[in-house]
Chain A
């Protein structure tokens, strides 16, 4: 082995990347060559000094947080990413309404129900069919459902509470007609689906996240209500409570 070869290979030796045959050759060369032996010692010392020093940079906590939040497991981001993927991001922000739908809980499993409700929510945003009756006046929206459904869905004006009534539409969940009352919260749409309660009435409201959307379900006055939106769960919970409070005060 020549000194020039040894010059490069001794690094591989230091790094433990040499096979036994080459390692023996280097060692044999170094045993005879003072100059290469000095090189080997020198680079070994430097390597040790490098290993002993902290040469890393710690990622700032804010960076870690930002990256962590950018993954789709967060409801908001997830939905935006998802909608962007479908090429309807613009529409979603334009439509940006929060839809709440009332659903028949009948025999369907709750899981199917929630998934269907989320699908209905998405359809409402994608098909530009958010509302059949466009009005911020609950006295216009509520009567519109007469004769279209076998229930009279509660329609509340929550403008003062920060949730603007946009209107209502007829939707279908698990093949059954339900009322969809649509609210807007800043840029976001809430679909509130309302249908007659038959099976799984809920003693207490249930908040869950499905496919990146927050869903709040509750039962009131023999009706099942299901709110779907991409607003955060705290706000959706607030929506539910404000809606209940308003409905309770009218009763």
Chain B
């Protein structure tokens, strides 16, 4: 019976360490899945998996670890959706213009005068419209506040890829932002 008692200690430790990051987990799930109900399911599944694997968690920051698990949950969800919809092409590893490599063509200069005044909801929508790999990197950086190294670990790519994705993501967001302001 001893393992059950220690199981309860584990549960308390896990609760104290992981629950404070529920908003972070849920936020990333919302951006990745673009749907509140799916995000709730994913967050719940994330915590179940995290608890199951808590014994293998080797300390350090728990937030990137949780977000990496959430990301895997979402990837499974994408795979599930793809099975039900042949048209579904949204995956976390889509081949996007990042093929152009780390030192891609420099973008156009930002000649437009940008006011940088959009409400949070509009910005959320613009971010949600970015291709998944870029959206994910941008959210992990700007919303979840992860370091490049942590993003690299969570998404399973080199830091260089994180940097190029982030540069591209910000460029796309800026373009969308300016278009939004222009149309307002």
Interface size on A, residues (CB 8 A): 48
Question: Contact: A67 with B19, CB < 8 Å?
Answer: yes
Question: Contact: A46 with B116, CB < 8 Å?
Answer: yes
Beta-carbon nearest neighbor of B148 in chain A: A17
Interface residues in B110-129 (C-beta closer than 8 Å to A):
110, 114, 116-120, 123-124, 127
Task: Say how far B125's CB is from chain A's closest CB, in angstroms.
Answer: 11
Interface residues in B1-18 (C-beta closer than 8 Å to A):
1, 4-5, 7-8, 11-12, 14-15
Q: CB-CB < 8 A to A70: which residues of B?
A: 44, 47-48, 51
A-B interface pairs (CB < 8 A), number: 135
Asked if B79 CB lies within 8 Å of chain A CBs, one says no
Question: Contact: A45 with B43, CB < 8 Å?
Answer: no
Task: Say how far A52's CB is from chain B's closest CB, in angstroms.
Answer: 9
Task: Say how far A139's CB is from chain B's closest CB, in angstroms.
Answer: 36
Asked if B74 CB lies within 8 Å of chain A CBs, one says no
Question: Contact: B104 with A4, CB < 8 Å?
Answer: yes
Most-contacted residue by chain A among B11, B40, B51 (CB, 10 A): B11
Task: Say how far B140's CB is from chain A's closest CB, in angstroms.
Answer: 12
Interface residues in A145-169 (C-beta closer than 8 Å to B):
none
Task: Say how far A77's CB is from chain B's closest CB, in angstroms.
Answer: 10
Question: Contact: A4 with B106, CB < 8 Å?
Answer: yes
Once the chains are docked, how many angstroms separate the CA of A118 from the CA of B2?
12
Question: Contact: A82 with B7, CB < 8 Å?
Answer: yes
Question: Contact: A11 with B8, CB < 8 Å?
Answer: no
Once the chains are docked, how many angstroms separate the CA of A211 from the CA of B6?
9
Asked if A115 CB lies within 8 Å of chain B CBs, one says yes
Question: Contact: A56 with B143, CB < 8 Å?
Answer: yes
- Chain A, 31-73, contact with B by CB distance < 8 Å: what is the 0/1 string? 0000100110011011111110111111110011011101111
